[in-house]
Amino acid sequence: MRPQEYQQLVQQNLPPRPVLKNTLWAFVVGGLICTVGQVILSLVPFFEPSKTGSAAITLAAMILIGSLLTGFGVYDELAEVGGAGAAIPITGFANTVTAAAMEYRREGYLQGMGAKMLIIASPVITYGILVSFIVALIKSLILGVL
């Protein structure tokens, strides 16, 4: 058998991916996380009436929840079921930072945790900044503010 034939044979024999099941669970888990966020967002104005203020508090609360669930070893289990439903919300972002912080803590606070805490999250930050720069540039060009 030639390697190319074998590669094709591997593709034909991979275990089936349960796409429908995964999608449904991603919807349920992602939906639940967003519902929790919405509840917090609806309650916060009782303490913090400004719109930007309550949005910031909600985000901080979700990050705290994501980090705590990671610390208790629950979030990875949630992601095993929920997939992208657990990875996409900001709780998933908090999870990647906390998980890396926990992992690299063993190599010390500076060269371990400090240096590697963002090892998974940094592409999101890097390309987030790049895209926002491009969008801002386009907006400025269109409005002629430059």
Partner 1 sequence: MGNNRVGIQTIAFSRQPRIASSYTIVGPLEGKGPYALEFQEILPDDTLQQKTPEKTERLMLEMAIEKTLQQNDTKISDVQFYIAGDLLNQIISSCFSARTYPIPFLGVYGACSTFCEALGLGAIMLQGDFADQVLIGTASHYQTAERQFRYPIEMNIQHHGTNHHTVTGAAAALLNLGTEGPRITHATFGSIVDWGLKDANDMGSAMAPAAFSTLKQHLIDTGRKIEDYDLILTGDLGKQGSKMLKILLSHENYTGLERIQDGGASIYSDQQKTGAGGSGSACVAVMTLGYLKNKLNSSKVKRVLILATGALLSATSSLQGDSIPCIAHGIALEA
Question: Is residue 37 a contact residue for partner 1 (CB under 8 A)?
Answer: no
Identify which range of 14-22, 40-48, 51-59, 131-139 contacts partner 1 by CB under 8 A. 14-22
3-state secondary structure the chain: CCHHHHHHHHHHCCCCCCHHHHHHHHHHHHHHHHHHHHHHHHHHHHCCCCHHHHHHHHHHHHHHHHHHHHHCCCHHHHHHHHCHHHHCCHHHHHHHHHHHHHHHHHHCHHHHHHHHCCCCCHHHHHHHHHHHHHHHHHHHHHHCCC
* 118 C-beta neighbours (distance < 10 Å), count: 16
* Contact pick of 20, 73, 110, 142 for partner 1 (by CB under 8 A): 73
What residues numbered 98-127 form the site for partner 1, per CB under 8 A? 98-100, 102-104, 106, 120
Question: Is residue 96 a contact residue for partner 1 (CB under 8 A)?
Answer: yes
Using the minimum distance from each CB to partner 1, give the nearer residue, 18 or 45: 18
Identify which range of 42-50, 56-64, 72-80, 130-138 contacts partner 1 by CB under 8 A. 72-80
Question: Is residue 13 a contact residue for partner 1 (CB under 8 A)?
Answer: yes
Identify which range of 44-52, 54-62, 74-82, 134-142 contacts partner 1 by CB under 8 A. 74-82
| Helix 19-43 vs helix 51-71: crossing angle, to nearest 10 | 130
Binding site for partner 1 (CB under 8 A): 1, 3-4, 6-7, 9-10, 13-15, 17, 22, 70-71, 73, 75-76, 78-80, 82-84, 86-87, 92, 95-96, 98-100, 102-104, 106, 120
